[in-house]
Structure 1
Amino acid sequence: MTAAELLLFFCADGDARVRATALNCLCNWAQYEKHKHNGTTNKRKYEWISDHWQQVYTLACKLITEDNSKVRQVSLRAIYLLGLRFGQHETPADTINLSGGSIENASLDMRLSPKKLNPYRPKLPSLVDDAFSRVCDRLQDPSRYVRQTAAGLIGDLAKFVSEESLLLTLEKTVMSDRQVKRFDRLNGGGGVDKSSLWGPVVGGSSGRPMHRAHQHPQAAAQSAPISVDSISLLSTGALGALINGLEDEFHEVRCATLSTVTQIAAYNARFASLCQDILVDMLTDDIQSVRLRAVNALQTVGDQVPILNDQVAIVTSALAEDSVVIRQRIHALLSRCRLVSPPCLLSLLDGLLANLRLYPEDRNSVWSCAAAVGRRHPFFVEVCVTSLLRTHPWLSDQEPFREDPAYITVLLLVLNAHPHAPGMAAHFPRHLATSQAYLRELVPHLLPKETMRFSFVWKPSTDLCLPYKRQRLDRGLSDDVDDTTGSQLFRFLTSTVGLLRRLLADCVHTLHQRRELPTSPDKSAGEPMDTDEKPAVSASELKRRLARLGQASRQELRVCQNSLGAPWLGDLPSWLNCLVTAAQCLLAATLHQTTNPKLFITLLRQVKKLSLRAEHLYLGLTPQEVAAVRGLRSALSSPGMLDASTVSRVLTELLDVCLRTEDIESCVGRIQKPHAQLLHPPPTKSDVDSTGAGQTPAGPLPEIRFTAVLATAAVRVRAIVTGLSLQQARSRVRVLYRRPDTAGKAQRQCSWLPPASAWEVLDGPLMEPGGGELAHTTPHTKAPRLELQTTLELTASCWSDTATLEIGLGISVPTTEGNPDDDELAPAVISLLPPDVVAKVKLLPCDTSHRW
């Protein structure tokens, strides 16, 4: 007995597990590809499956009707693999009487007499059509796992079937088109009226009704008798298969079906147009993952099929939900879709403005969406320009509030449409020139490159620019930077870096001069007053220059961080601010190492903390930049004393590598840092002092009630992290918390590593694993969006009955970077949340008679 015969024998075993395993082995044989295997055994497997595929296919069609879900799942995979490999062959005749195939759904004559020569009987369908019908039929399987598997396999088979078969999967009136009417005269003589018995039936491969009026009336009488009760009413094949999957009660099946719909709609425009309404309805699903899949599918459909007015209203209504991921994906969808009329444009704009009023933090995403819509629909914007800008035919209106986010949204829509529809400039009011100059400073990356010229003004004045940039623009900063290198925001940052470089270089030069001066009076001199005053004057000069450096850093770099155009610069201003502050603390420490030892240690800790943040929290650093940042910590090799020459050398290297105005253009967008958003518990701004007490949040704190006797409490933690790969998040992200029983050690935080299974990729491609330190990761690849869902379990100690727990997120620093002899100078975890942001949970025991 050969191995193949043995497998076929075990496919009829009494144990369902044996049957599933045996058929799974045959599936592995069907996956064999001849050009990838040269072994003798593999060749025999290939030859055997090529000669006996009909037998295996028939066996799989029989096993797919068993009551064991595992056997049905393996049989479904076998039908799928054989349908792909031998798709152009005819369906075996032995499978005609088996439910679920395209033969059963195509013609009743085949079921009555499959082998009899009949000129009216159509040709046997191809194997891929039959496999497609049987896989679609499994979307009505009792097991949700089988339905989920079937929904995922339809997409590959759909590439080889006809368009009519694909459209059948979206048919909603399945049973009305295939209604079976019972025949009351079965016991009477004569033939069976097939038209009244079966009704109009649509073929699985051609999609056309099979007319049976021309059949000979004695055809049924000469065939084997068939009862109406033997006809399967539940076996519908491809008819309405995807509708059943989208309406399934389990969200896993709905998600798999949406992925298949997305795959098919990418290459079939007619299918995409028919499923658009269904996908829009899926935006109202109760599960967030289903809504995300629906948005992805609509993005694929929107590239081929325009969206209608009522569909725009449904899509924009989904912007009211509290999930920031859903809102951002819908913004991306609206940026890519095509509208059919100007009313659709107005409806879309109303939805964006409502989203802006409800969630002001979405303004950057809303503005990007409005700019993209204006570029894609310039002629619709031209039709609606008077209503959008609210201009009067002959009266001059007052300029709206220039910093209103809603007004900025409308301006971005109009100004991005102007290059493709220049005729709308005749309807522009006079104040639009000043608004354009303001937007050039605010969001230059969202405006067209060419500046719109107005005939009624000469040149926008610099008084129209942002207040904190007006003075620097008036001084003619374009002398240092060429006008073609970037926008005014980039020129402002470049000039700021040049200013900080000069101030820091002056501080280093002052430190070098102070090191050369004597530190004690000359005993042989008659009047030692001159030598005593010089070090004091040098120290005061260094303090004065450090104060100027700190003031410039706060007023210039932090303005770039907080401006509305900050996303265009990335996290470069934040990184530069971190470096300049660390250098300032290092220079200040040289002044206090003998006069104020306590302040000296505090400044060293700050330098250590800031240098670790600059190296490990920011992505995209070059090896030279990493070495320059590490040089700041190399100056702290002897914490009790700082060498002025070493400090000067380290800061000079920092100036030459990280603060070069010539390299700022290459750093823009390259240096990024991961961002975290804590969804549960909800974070609040709080000024936490040394005692651990902070201001009361605006809303009530979430409460967790538990039995005090158990002495444990479980806190659900949910967060979204962007900018890290899945491997980095699993190994480096920590949950920070401060236990209520550590009131005497309020500054000490505890960290906890969540399990690897708590992480899940929401959307977007994964980044290439860096394989090394976080600072060396290249951020050019689109960062994935990772979701953390876990539970933090605390064992009670000795705190009071009611307590408050503080929770945050952080990223760990490699232990090799820390000093094992001085843990205070080497923080183990860096917070990922913004400053002064912390989540609080109130723990309330149910039984207050016990201390927990």
Structure 2
Amino acid sequence: MALAIAKPQQSFIETIVGVPPPLKKLRLQATAAPVSKPKVKVEKKLQILSLLDAYLPANNSNGGASSSNTTTTTATAAAVGNTISGASSSSSAIAAGGVAPQQTQAGGSCQTKELLELLVKITDEISYDNVQIAELKESAAKIYQLYQLQERDSDTSVRVKLLELFAGLGCECSTEEGIILIIDYFIYLLRKETSQKVLAQGMMCLYRIGQQRRQLVPLAYNTQVAHLAKEQLRSGSTHTQKNAMLVIGRFATCHESERQYVWKLAFYIDSQDSGVRAQALHALLTLGERGAHLPPVLYKRAVEAMKDDYECVRKEALRLVHMLGNRHPDYCINLERQPEDIRMIDAAFSKVCEALCDLSLQLRVLAAELLGSMTHVSSEFLHQTLDKKLMSNLRRKRNAHERGARLVTSGEWSSGKRWADDAPQEHLDARTISLIASGACGALIHGLEDEFLEVRTAAVGSMCKLAMSRPEFAVTSLDFLVDMFNDEIEDVRLKAIYSLTAIARHIVLREDQLEIMLGSLEDYSVDVREGLHLMLGACRVSTQTCLLMVVQKLLDVLAKYPQDRHSTYACMRKIGQKHPHLVMALTGHLLYVHPFFETPERDVEDPAYLCVLILVFNAAEHLVPIISLLPTATHRHYAYLRDSMPKLVPQLPIEGASSSSNSKCIDDALQAAGSSAEYLQMILNHIGEIYTMTDDRVELLKTAQSNLQRLGAIDSDMYGPSNFLETFLSAQIQIEQMQRCASTQRSRVPLKESLAELIRNCLKLQHTFSGLNYGDILQVKQLRLRASALHLVLVVRDRSQSALGPCQMLLQTAGDISAFMRTRSTSSSFAEKAPEPSLDDDGGKPKPKPGQDEPDSFTRTLLSKLDAIADPKPGRVFREILPLVQHATPLSLPPANEKIRRCMANILEPCPLQSQDNVIKVTAGLIAAVPFVAEIDNLLESQKADMRIKIKYPDQHMHTVVPKMTDFKPIMTEQGEHETNVRLRTTILLSHSVWTEASLVEIQLCLAVRPGSELELCKPAKVLFAPKPVRRGI
């Protein structure tokens, strides 16, 4: 069977120049050369709408295609031409171009039922993807004509379905011309409509269009649609009123909102229907979110709405109060029973706090969430949220001066029950009795003590947000956050732990608070323990006793849970960096140093001893005199730990722990360059000079490769760019070495492993690195194209393997890079024609300049040669590309891109150091469960589905495990969840037949990029596995 590429209409050269050819397709048989170029027929996407032709008049059906097209064009031109002329001119334009309503009925009730069933079928099956503007005009005119044929007193369901088809066209339309046409039809039809059901559906359809395509609607049409919705507010149907308010909130312009719409919507806050009241408040919120000015006088209306009997109204009113408070924080308002005016943000804060006592769970959760964003509140009101004393007896307390003044001015008779007591009043003022929380007093305490975990979690989050901006409030709220460590729900405990971690820079822990925190360290949940390790590393303690208490508790818990050693090591590192003076005072006690006697040398592999060393060494980095207190054996241990744990043990001026000469030279060069970026650029300049040489450049390139590798090891921020360039250079060196084998006939063909390693490096560049720009991706694809061409040449020269697979891979790689460049040229041409987008449209991302990166001459020539082959069999392709591959010049390295990150993993469990000491024994044929924990850096969301766990047994049998998506959890830091770093925690199952002795099983994390190709992300972890024979009973 021969491989071939179907001859396209245009060549690869035209692709690069800028003419977009059709997609190149791979085929498994040769095809004849194209005889002629037939006229391309545009495929109609809305073909299913042709079923409606049977219900249209005969002169407008498919039989009179020319007449139909003329009518459609006239209607479209009339509609578009009167864009800003007002509703009446637009309506007359459509009426002139369309068909007048028929006086005869379209059919009886049976025909209406059939039409309704057909419309339901069309609505379910129609697809609006990539609809051309001409087809859209034709379809819209057809729907409009059918709508006009319906009697006003007939079943409204048909007209409702027709409006849904109009909305579908508008929502998927990507041009301004099409949107204008659809909105013109809507305005004309809805002004003539009398059915409230149809009007309500029309308003909802306009809202859907505005929600998805509002950026394409011109300003004049925004105004027209908003005025149309404003007219429908006078409708007697509440459903129509609610949908009209949705349209106003979406289409009303910001400069007209306060003058025409805000007060109109505020009038309906007092409507008799609860849905209308809620929708009026929601429309005001939508206008405010879009940037419209909401006057502060709306605050009192919103406060009154918070007392509504319906939950939906109270919810929207609460959000409006929150928005007004944040929009006008310093606006002073006068409240009842308040002698002085207060700021609106303080009044709104009190009202939101009162909502924490609402009967509705959703409202309490919303109130607890909104509190965290009201950061402009006064400190007096903020601190009242943690005070419950003023809420005793559920009534307002007066001070001693007020009680004394009232006793003097009282002229009523005494009851005699108490000396100098006044008689009970006959009429009580209802305003003096409070049956709910008084303002902000104790509001957050109510949230933390709520019976539902959603409210408690939201209250903890809001307390954290407020404490981050107010250091004094952080100190006050510390005790309450610590109390939440004892919550019965794990998610609430984790939320409290992470919240305390976020505000750790404002607080210092006391001994009584540490007792509660350290008691939670023995929690069964590993997430809680790791969260506490992170929190303790971020906090500061006050005394030596507190520090000793923390260290001792961490060591005790480590003995109980040995799998927590990695998070414990990181915690000790942070504690040492934050408390150098306290650690210096406790160094002798922690290391068991006796002032007179020499103590025995401790085991450096002991986890408890490692924790103490990490603590002391990190403290010595900030306080160098600690080094003088260390015993001599600790210096040797430092040299070992510095090499085995460079991320946990810092560089210290300790004698006998110097680095190698090669590393020292690179470190000196890096220091002379000034920064890692400058040193990386210096390496790239040297590589560019090496490329100009003709002899012995491979050895120089290998030296540059080692320098790039060392740079990534020194500076973690430059690991991604340096490793990307190192892998690219390694593949380039391999190509250059194999190129010599293809240049002469007598040269030895390289092994299959060398070719596989080259292809693996190309796949690694393409799939394990993120943050690549267009130039980087183009260089990687060109490198893979060269590797595929060289692979085919060497395989054909070898004559011991089939060249069918390499030829197919070359053709696929060529098609991929051609499609990639075609997509680039299409987007560049579109960017030239399109107007300058706003920041909201493109998210503020810079677009690449057209022509910034272009393929080299090798890629151009190779693609043109492949395009010229009508029957691309391996032998024919080999003869065409052989001279090109033999004389190919080296591919230049892409420029340094500091945004590049590499996906890599680190297996924590099974531990590489301890797994070979513990043998996993199991009866042959049964299953042994092994816990597996790994940390994966720079993992994209799209790569999680491609993650695999590969298990390799000693007999070379391999099993691949696909982890569940729920096993991936983001790694928490002091700033919150990490965006791309995740932790994979799962359990793998091992099983095998009988072995004579224990053997090593390799467990490795891989990325499955294509069938049969898996890229290893880390070194394998090895465990001793011993399946034993089944014991026979006696």
| Fold equivalence (TM over 0.5) | yes
Q: Is the 8 A contact 2:386 2:441 kept in 1?
A: yes
**Residue 402 of structure 2 aligns to a residue in which SS?**
coil
Q: One-letter code of the match for 2:344?
A: L
Task: Supply the distance in 2 between the matched residues of 1:267 and 1:301 (Cα, whole angstroms).
Answer: 9
Which ranges of structure 1 fall in alignment gaps of 5 or more residues? 34-41, 97-109, 111-120, 181-197, 202-207, 453-458, 513-544, 680-684, 687-692, 703-716, 739-745, 768-780, 791-806, 839-852
Residues 334/387 of structure 1: CA separation in 2 closer, same or farther (3 Å cut):
same
**Residue 474 of structure 2 aligns to a residue in which SS?**
helix
Q: Aligned residue for 2:277?
A: 19
1:358-437 alignment runs, 5 A limit: 363-418=565-620, 421=623, 423-437=625-639
Q: Say which of 349, 360, 377 aligns to 1:160.
A: 377
1:551-700 alignment runs, 5 A limit: 604-605=755-756, 607-619=758-770, 626=780, 630=784, 631-638=786-793, 640-641=795-796, 672-675=902-905, 699-700=928-929
**Residue 214 of structure 1 aligns to a residue in which SS?**
helix
Q: Aligned residue for 2:319?
A: 77
Task: Supply the distance in 1 between the matched residues of 2:425 and 2:284 (Cα, whole angstroms).
Answer: 36
Q: Aligned residue for 2:221?
A: none
Alpha carbon RMSD of aligned pairs, Å?
A: 6.0
Residues 406/720 of structure 1: CA separation in 2 closer, same or farther (3 Å cut):
closer
Q: One-letter code of the match for 2:768?
A: L
> Structure 2 length as normaliser, TM-score?
0.48
2:644 paired with 1:442: yes
1:829-844 alignment runs, 5 A limit: 830=1015, 835=1020
Q: Aligned residue for 2:946?
A: 734
Larger helix share, 1 or 2: 2
Show CA shifts across 1:697-718 (max 9, x none). 874599xxxxxxxxxxxxxx99
1:206-221 alignment runs, 5 A limit: 211-215=402-406, 216-217=409-410
Show CA shifts across 1:150-188 (max 9, x none). 112213335222x232222112556xx5215xxxxxxxx
1:199-238 alignment runs, 5 A limit: 200=397, 211-215=402-406, 216-217=409-410, 225-226=427-428, 231-238=433-440
Task: Supply the distance in 1 between the matched residues of 2:295 and 2:717 (Cα, whole angstroms).
Answer: 58
Task: Supply the distance in 2 between the matched residues of 1:750 and 1:412 (Cα, whole angstroms).
Answer: 36
Q: Is the 8 A contact 1:582 1:611 kept in 2?
A: no
Q: Say which of 459, 465, 475 aligns to 1:263.
A: 465
**Residue 612 of structure 2 aligns to a residue in which SS?**
helix
Shift of 1:391: 0.6
Q: Aligned residue for 1:784?
A: 980
Task: Supply the distance in 2 between the matched residues of 1:235 and 1:252 (Cα, whole angstroms).
Answer: 20
Shift of 1:339: 0.9
Q: Aligned residue for 1:723?
A: 938
Q: Aligned residue for 2:385?
A: 169
2:305 paired with 1:60: yes
Q: One-letter code of the match for 2:946?
A: R
Shift of 1:363: 4.5
Q: Say which of 490, 514, 534 aligns to 1:312.
A: 514
Shift of 1:386: 1.2
Q: Is the 8 A contact 2:771 2:901 kept in 1?
A: yes
Shift of 1:274: 1.9
Q: One-letter code of the match for 1:168?
A: Q
Residues 574/250 of structure 1: CA separation in 2 closer, same or farther (3 Å cut):
farther
Q: Is the 8 A contact 2:269 2:278 kept in 1?
A: yes
Shift of 1:242: 1.0
1:115-514 alignment runs, 5 A limit: 122-161=339-378, 163-173=379-389, 177-179=391-393, 198=395, 200=397, 211-215=402-406, 216-217=409-410, 225-226=427-428, 231-321=433-523, 326-354=528-556, 356-357=558-559, 363-418=565-620, 421=623, 423-447=625-649, 449-452=651-654, 459-460=655-656, 473=660, 476-477=661-662, 481=666, 483=668, 485=670
Shift of 1:383: 1.6
Shift of 1:139: 1.2
Work out which structure has the larger RCO, using CA pairs closer than 8 Å and 6 or more positions apart in sequence: 2
Tell me which structure has the larger Cα radius of gyration. 2
Shift of 1:135: 0.6
Task: Supply the distance in 1 between the matched residues of 2:907 and 2:274 (Cα, whole angstroms).
Answer: 48
Task: Supply the distance in 1 between the matched residues of 2:290 and 2:401 (Cα, whole angstroms).
Answer: 38
Q: Is the 8 A contact 1:759 1:787 kept in 2?
A: yes
Q: Is the 8 A contact 2:947 2:962 kept in 1?
A: yes
Residues 421/634 of structure 1: CA separation in 2 closer, same or farther (3 Å cut):
same
Shift of 1:387: 0.4
Q: One-letter code of the match for 2:307?
A: K
Task: Supply the distance in 2 between the matched residues of 1:668 and 1:582 (Cα, whole angstroms).
Answer: 21
> Structure 1 length as normaliser, TM-score?
0.57
Task: Supply the distance in 1 between the matched residues of 2:574 and 2:369 (Cα, whole angstroms).
Answer: 33
Q: One-letter code of the match for 2:283?
A: C
Task: Supply the distance in 1 between the matched residues of 2:565 and 2:669 (Cα, whole angstroms).
Answer: 28
Residues 73/629 of structure 1: CA separation in 2 closer, same or farther (3 Å cut):
same
Q: Is the 8 A contact 2:762 2:780 kept in 1?
A: no
**Residue 946 of structure 2 aligns to a residue in which SS?**
strand
Task: Supply the distance in 1 between the matched residues of 2:631 and 2:975 (Cα, whole angstroms).
Answer: 47
Q: Is the 8 A contact 2:396 2:433 kept in 1?
A: no
Q: Is the 8 A contact 1:635 1:642 kept in 2?
A: no
Which ranges of structure 2 fall in alignment gaps of 5 or more residues? 1-233, 235-259, 413-421, 799-881, 910-914, 917-921, 951-956, 987-1002, 1024-1034
Range 326-335 or range 232-241, more displaced: 326-335
Report sequence identity in percent. 25
Q: One-letter code of the match for 1:73?
A: K
**Residue 405 of structure 2 aligns to a residue in which SS?**
coil
Show CA shifts across 1:636-674 (max 9, x none). 245733689999989x959x969xxxx9xx999975315
Show CA shifts across 1:576-615 (max 9, x none). 79997998899899999x99x9996676556434531343
Residues 303/254 of structure 1: CA separation in 2 closer, same or farther (3 Å cut):
same
Show CA shifts across 1:61-94 (max 9, x none). 433xx2x32211101012212233444445455x
